Amino acid sequence: MKAFVFPGQGAQFTGMGKDLYEGFEMARELFEKANSILGFRITDLMFGGTEDDLKQTSVTQPAIFTHSTVLASVIGDKFKPEMVAGHSLGEFSALVASKVLRFEDGLLLVSRRAGAMQKACEEFPSTMAAIIGLEDSVVEAVCSQIRDTVVPANYNCPGQVVISGTVEGIDKAVEILNARGAKMAVKLAVGGAFHSPLMEPARIDLEKAIRSTTFNKPLCPVYQNVSAKPSVNPDEISANLVAQLTSPVKWTQTVINMISDGAVSFTEVGPGKVLQGLIKKIDKSVIVDSASV
């Protein structure tokens, strides 16, 4: 079975999507629609913005979403998924590509999500850290022992977990995990504790928008971050999307389940090749590639 996967924040790069805009009328129309919906020319930032421009959450999230969904539209008959999944932000791209959400609705939700997350970051100073080389259970145990809020946020692949929490809590966790033998335990250059309870204000904000958006039955099963399991039920998909902001991204578990359910190849749709690398670390036997036009 063929799976299509969609990247999340961090996959952006200057020039992303420019080839699609210049080469395909359908792509130009969608990019211009995105400019209109957002109220600013995100294409100018995608095609010629600086690295710092693209790091702004209000730009990064809609930029990656737009690039991914436009690419899925342009490849046409090559996009025949038997299952889909997206990493964090990428779940919104997967939902549009699988026809759960309209492009316009997906972009509005992503923009709302980015704004809500940025606001939560400003209200509650917090951060994240990457932990390499330890068993998930060790990372989980250390997080649970710290008085401040510290939780696993991204299970990216075996031996690679990202944790989220208060600045003080993350500092303490990094210190302990390094002492426990982590190959690497370092804070990330982010301004918030994504996928943690500290994103509760953003979850409440986004829930209002999600509840007023129409969710349709997908073309194929959607494996969601919160459960790591497939769903074709619009109500379940919607509820899981609400919970996503304060819950860990179970990417390792998702890929394992997709393979168990028959996936033999994974095509990454969007900027970069981050997910391909993670999938290969989860199971070397599967085929991975990038979507191409």
Q: What is the structure's pLDDT at 61?
A: 94
CA 229 centroid distance within chain: 16
- Considering only CA atoms, which of 67, 59, 64 is closest in space to residue 20? 67
- Considering only CA atoms, which of 208, 193, 196, 198 is closest in space to residue 242? 208
- d(C-alpha 106, C-alpha 93), whole Å: 7
Going by pLDDT thresholds of 50, 70 and 90, the confidence category of residue 35 is very high
The tokens for 20 are 């699609």
* Mean pLDDT computed over 216-235: 98
Selected from 3.40.366.10, 3.30.530.20, 1.10.760.10, 3.30.70.60, the CATH number assigned to the domain covering 2-122+197-290 reads 3.40.366.10
Could you tell me if 121 and 201 are in contact, meaning their C-beta atoms sit under 8 angstroms apart? Answer: no
Q: What is the structure's pLDDT at 189?
A: 78
Q: Is 22 exposed, middle or buried (0-12, 13-18, 19+ CB in 10 A)?
A: exposed
For residue 226, pLDDT over 90 is answered with yes
pTM recorded for the entire structure: 0.96
In angstroms and rounded to an integer, the radius of gyration of the C-alpha atoms of the chain is 18
- The angle subtended at Cα 286 by Cα 283 and Cα 292, nearest 5°, is 125
Question: Domain map of the chain by residue range?
Answer: 2-122+197-290, 125-187
Query: Which one of the listed residues 68, 73, 87, 88 is annotated catalytic?
Result: 88
For residue 4, pLDDT over 80 is answered with yes
Q: What is the structure's pLDDT at 245?
A: 95
- d(C-alpha 167, C-alpha 207), whole Å: 26
pLDDT for 149-170, tens place per residue?
A: 999 999 999 999 999 999 999 9
If you average pLDDT over every residue of the chain, what do you get? 95
pLDDT for 174-215, tens place per residue?
A: 999 999 999 999 998 777 899 999 999 999 999 999 999 999
**Cα→Cα distances 185→45, 175, 192, 239, Å:** 32, 8, 17, 33
Q: Does domain 125-187 have CATH number 3.30.70.250?
A: yes
Query: Which one of the listed residues 87, 195, 196, 238 is annotated catalytic?
Result: 195
175 contact partners, CB below 8 Å, separation of at least 6: none
Going by pLDDT thresholds of 50, 70 and 90, the confidence category of residue 123 is confident
Respond yes or no: is residue 58 known to be catalytic.
no
* Mean pLDDT computed over 270-284: 96
Respond yes or no: is residue 195 known to be catalytic.
yes
